[in-house]
Chain A
């Protein structure tokens, strides 16, 4: 890794803007070590005194440290000693005249980062951050034209130490250390200000890429969320650079690394409100100072979309079965619209669709979007759709979503009746083991389909003609021509079958379902049923409807009080025969 160097004379002459640092209100760690707020005052202090540097009034961390010291025991003395030592080293580094002195001091500090005590590590990291910031502001990390060879050496070695430091920070990040995130982002900002090679706008993407990589490898989901919510979602530039970085990083990470994939997923999944126009971009917050050019790619929606798409594609190419359903649910609404070229999703969707089950159900909508608006030609669509009507369909919660789509697909009157009949018959079969809320969807749907395809009503009413051999019919009955196992809806023979299932459902235990099933044996006078009225029922809604019914009449109570409830009757007399209400309970249960 090499930080780009240039002579950049202009940068030194240019008056540096004062960077207003906003302290993030939320602290990622339970015991926060505040990031030293590197204000201008601190940086430009000409001769900082060893002890007082840290206890400047603007530095909130000092108080915390004091408190720690008071409450602690021996270790605190240790820490205090460390601090004194560190501050001395810092001064040495900044004021060092020779490369060796500086490198030596830096080396000792860096070594301290490997200390076992967490507090020492963090303190050192904070101190180093401060040091590097000061070095950056003094242009001692960038090569200048007027540098002497000794100075050049100092710059070179300083840079090496910096990179070393960054990597150390990264490993801290990987461990889920909250303060390190702040330090890293702080450095990022300083870098963007002081290490500009030439132009007015510079984003230190290499550092950023490093940070992202380490964050995504971390086990701490808290850190990931903080990074996402406080930096990536909030700031336009960070988001764009994030998208730019991901495809490259993802390339190097093996597909088997699930931590990486899950972290990435959680960041991407929670990303909401992605802008759709360039105007929206102009209003967004930026982390580092904005480029002066209005037409900068940062403010072009197309740039954002391009990298968004690349990121998603890179992400989707990684296998992540556990999150697949979540991704598929947000795909049509939150992802496809932002893709410049949604067709690139085709492979992904086809693959998921082919897996079958609920996943396929969810992929269906995305696929449908592509077919409708992006000219996707999907061979064997209907057989695959037919295969989706499996035994779990009626019981899953996505069922209404599926039926909404299915209604769309089958709504065309140009479909062959054979195909529609297969779908209807299959749905009827499934109804025999479905909850009432699902049956309630299927029946009006079947009704609507039969209105559209009157040929299908033969499934409800078929008078056998001469072609039937009545002898065999009398002997063996009518053999159902429907083949349940057939996967091709064009060949199931459903059209020649009958919908006995619906007829049976007319005696469903729930009165509303039974009544609804009766519409199929009534005359088809209604044009269409509005499916939306039936889609979102559940046991709860049905029970609520029952409970809300107010009955003025007294509910009927069984007139005869049975003599035995939990026992068999000893003696059968005439009355019990007359009553003839056998107690089924006692056939299976023994209450003795």
Chain B
């Protein structure tokens, strides 16, 4: 450490107070130029002052540390300059607080903005001089403005004469006369020579020799020229437009002549119709008529509202269609598989977004612009592949257009009816096939899947769905076409949309049950969501009505025509697609009721079976979880486990339930222990002789004592293996002879056992699952049993069922391996090293090492708040001290003044008194002398 003296010297040198700093001459010169003598002097003093303070040991206050801490901890505030900081604070207060104090209770005041007033570097003489020159200058400008004698002076604005400026601008600037009092630095167009000179310099164009007047003249000339040119151009344009107007008729005729793109009907019609008239109008215009323009305008406006013609989709070839369809199906299948595995649906939805799947939204959402009524779409669609019957359809379209305006319900119904009719006839023409309707349907399906990109086609497919249902081959159902063709108008075309089942029953009570599909179809067409805002809600209710009606039909004591039921089911399906929430909740409600009925040991109705069947088609039963299917599975399995086969009737129902299980799991192949149990239980019950030992682990409670259910025929009985007949077995009045039914049941159960075996062939516990089946089947083929079984059945068991089962079992045994489920990576052992912070510092507050982030933030905030609060309090205290001090000072001054004044007055009085006394004395002595 250098000595105090050396350091002083060093700092003096740095400040440039002593010594000769090594500087170039130029730099010195510049420095000299920059600094006037005064400045240099000032800065030197300031530098000296700072150095003085720096070296004043009395200014510095140190606090001795009592214990030094290892690790070099920094402690704040050990060294400080209290007087200096106090001084700084004092100065600041003087600048702010004192001023405020003095200004207190005072309103207004004059701010001294005189030139150089706040510049301490200026000497008073300089100030005076500067002020004087400014004043002189201002005075001289003033005289210029009002000097009207001078002709050559023209008022300008940014170099332009005021005459050429727009009137408004000019007006605005008129009030600016008083601006003279503004500070001189403000640039203003009227400010005189300096500015105008600058502008000329900026222009740079004309040489300086030209006078201002010349320049102005030039400018005016130029602008006049421009104006003239513009006028000329305008006139030429107008001429051209007139000419064009005259020729418009011809051009239009040309446009109309193009055959490839038919013009939108309306304007075309009006235009062609008035083709000749246009010329007449034109002539009238020439003669001074006015009406034409407005006519023209209206027609133009109309044209803007016309539909813009779109390029029609290219007709796709059969291969392309098939390909597209395959792709679509593949996509559907992929999403189904994903759901089956129980993966997240979100990815599915992504797929949906990119694909064209989300029909359900577009199908009835009316979001995409103005929608057309289905008939019109039909037309448009037909138009694109128009070949032979194009003209016919055009006619149709025209008439439809007219009808559409009428907007009568009947017409809508007709329209909905007719296009389908024409299409069908056309189709029939195309392929003279008896099963045309089938083909037709499949096509429509393809349409439905492929074309649903845009909303229009979505509704079209919807319409096709509807049509599908009436295009059934069955005789009663083909009626829609037949009816209209034959002119048979027994069925009205309009029906109200029934909102409750009672209403519906009332509606259909007059008609034959075979007409039901037509009625339903007509209701659906008539209340298509695109035809009215509240149709959506109506249809949704109507779907529930259909649901109720299906139940109603199924529970009727007489057998309803199954094809009608089927069509209703399909209607239910397509409506469910539109209203998935409503239909799902209805299904769930029904399931809950069925479940409760099972709990109360009430009879299962046919409608329950039908509803469960419908469910298997309407909902994807392979899903890992599905809000409708999962409860349905639970209901079925509860039924199977709580209804032990103790009578033929329950066995038939049970057989149906087991079939449903197979149907539900046909794709996902999930294990249903209850179904297997039921099959085994039934087979054990049905077997002609009892088994010596019942295999497997299915419960046998309640089936031991039912000897009357055993098949007791003989091998010579004539018997034909057949399916169970729904209408015979499930309608109680017509239960056929039970022996036969029992054999049929046994056959069905054996088949189901084999089907389940096929389904579960890949399961690891396949052997355990199918062991009872194998034992029971071999029991059935034992000599004791064979005696009482029909020959056909026993041969079936021996040669088909048992054979297949044994094959499957042998295969499973061959590929059976021990489980290896735990090929996991070994779990890492959690290691807990002590945490070591390299950056640890004593200076940081301990709370800053808090691992809890939020707590850390909070404590930081608290500390800051505390600090701020303390600081504010200190400041306030010091402020008040300062104020008190200042007030005292003021008082003292005031007091001093007062005292001085009193003193002065007193002395003055005393003087006067003394003088008077003297005078008196003198006078007295004078008198006494006298």
A interface residues with partner B (beta carbon < 8 Å): 391-392, 394-395, 429-436, 457, 459-464, 473, 475-480, 498-501, 503-505, 507-511, 514-515, 520-523, 525, 539-540, 542-543, 546-547, 549, 551, 553-567, 570-571, 573-575, 578-579, 581-585, 587-592
Contacts and interface: CB of A to CB of B under 8 A. Distances in A.
A433 B676 contact: yes
B115 to A, nearest CB: 77
A430 B673 CA distance: 10
Given A509-B670, A514-B624, A554-B580, A563 B468 contact: yes
Given A391-B696, A504-B769, A587 B755 contact: yes
Interface in B555-586: 562-563, 565-566, 569-570, 573-574, 576-577, 580-581, 583-584
Contacts of B667: 581
Listed from nearest, the 8 A-B pairs whose CB atoms lie closest are: A461-B822, A500-B764, A504-B765, A521-B821, A462-B818, A477-B816, A498-B819, A554-B580
Interface in B778-806: none
A464 B817 CA distance: 9
Nearest to B342: A511
Given A565-B617, A566-B565, 9 more contacts: A433-B698, A460-B819, A498-B819, A500-B816, A503-B821, A504-B765, A549-B627, A575-B325, A592-B725
Contacts of B634: 436, 510, 539, 542-543, 546
Contacts of B574: 561
A521 B822 contact: yes
A554 B726 contact: no
Interface of B: 322, 325-326, 329, 332, 339, 342, 345, 357, 359-360, 435, 438-439, 441-442, 445-446, 449, 465, 468, 473, 562-563, 565-566, 569-570, 573-574, 576-577, 580-581, 583-584, 588, 592, 595, 599, 613-614, 616-620, 623-628, 630-631, 633-635, 637-638, 641, 655-656, 659-660, 662-674, 676-677, 696-701, 722-727, 748, 751-752, 755, 760, 763-769, 812-824, 827
Nearest to B811: A477
Contacts of A561: 465, 468, 570, 573-574, 577
A508 B672 CA distance: 7
Nearest to A508: B671
A556 B665 CA distance: 17
Contacts of A592: 562, 725, 727
Contact of B672 (A500, A509, A525, A584): A509
A391 B655 contact: no
Given A501-B768, A540-B599, A589-B656, A464 B818 contact: yes
B110 to A, nearest CB: 73
Contacts of B819: 459-462, 498-500, 503
Given A460-B821, A555-B580, A589 B723 contact: yes
Contacts of B727: 591-592
A245 B795 CA distance: 70
A464 B818 CA distance: 8
Contacts of A590: 722-726
A86 to B, nearest CB: 56
Nearest to A496: B818
A469 B755 CA distance: 34
B659 A554 contact: no
12 contacts: A504-B769, A511-B342, A543-B631, A555-B580, A555-B626, A556-B619, A561-B577, A563-B468, A567-B562, A574-B442, A588-B655, A590-B723
A433 B820 contact: no
Contacts of B627: 546, 549, 551, 555
A432 B765 contact: yes
Contacts of A473: 817
B576 A509 contact: no
B71 to A, nearest CB: 44
Given A436-B637, A539-B637, A557-B360, A480 B816 contact: yes
A458 to B, nearest CB: 9
A509 B665 contact: yes
A560 B618 CA distance: 9
A433 B677 contact: yes
A564 B566 CA distance: 8
A507 B671 contact: yes
A547 B628 CA distance: 9
B828 to A, nearest CB: 12
A419 to B, nearest CB: 20
B581 A433 contact: no
A567 B566 contact: yes
B809 to A, nearest CB: 11
Given A460-B822, A589-B656, A554 B673 contact: no
Nearest to A507: B670
Contacts of B701: 392, 395
Contacts of B635: 543
A435 B637 contact: yes
Contacts of B439: 573
A429 B465 CA distance: 49
The listed residue with most B CB atoms (<10 A of its CB), out of A395, A503, A557, is A557
Contacts of B625: 511
Contacts of A564: 566
A504 B764 contact: yes
B684 to A, nearest CB: 12
Given A435-B637, A525-B827, A591-B726, A504 B671 contact: yes
B818 A589 contact: no
Contacts of B577: 557, 559, 561
B421 to A, nearest CB: 21
The listed residue with most A CB atoms (<10 A of its CB), out of B566, B673, B696, is B673
The listed residue with most B CB atoms (<10 A of its CB), out of A431, A462, A504, A565, is A565
Contacts of A556: 339, 580, 619-620, 623, 626
A546 B698 contact: no
B818 A573 contact: no
Contacts of B723: 587-590
B516 to A, nearest CB: 15
Contacts of A557: 360, 573, 576-577, 580, 583, 618-620
Contact of B592 (A515, A547, A585): A547
Contact of B821 (A431, A461, A575, A579): A461
Contacts of A504: 671, 760, 763-766, 769
Contacts of A585: 613, 616, 659-660, 663
A430 to B, nearest CB: 5
The listed residue with most B CB atoms (<10 A of its CB), out of A429, A556, A574, A592, is A556
A558 B620 contact: yes
Contacts of B724: 588-590
A457 B819 CA distance: 10
Contacts of A392: 699-701
Contact of B573 (A507, A511, A551, A558): A558
A477 B566 contact: no
Given A480-B767, A540-B599, A558 B637 contact: no
B764 A503 contact: yes
Contacts of A539: 595, 634, 637-638, 641
A509 B627 CA distance: 14
Given A435-B674, A514-B670, A503 B445 contact: no
A585 B752 CA distance: 11
B598 to A, nearest CB: 8
A573 B566 contact: no
Contacts of A480: 767, 816
Contacts of B631: 543, 546-547
A546 B629 CA distance: 10
Contact of A588 (B752, B764, B767, B814): B752
Nearest to B820: A461
Contact of A575 (B360, B446, B662, B823): B446
A475 B818 CA distance: 15
Nearest to B357: A559
Given A433-B697, A554-B580, A565-B566, A511 B438 contact: no
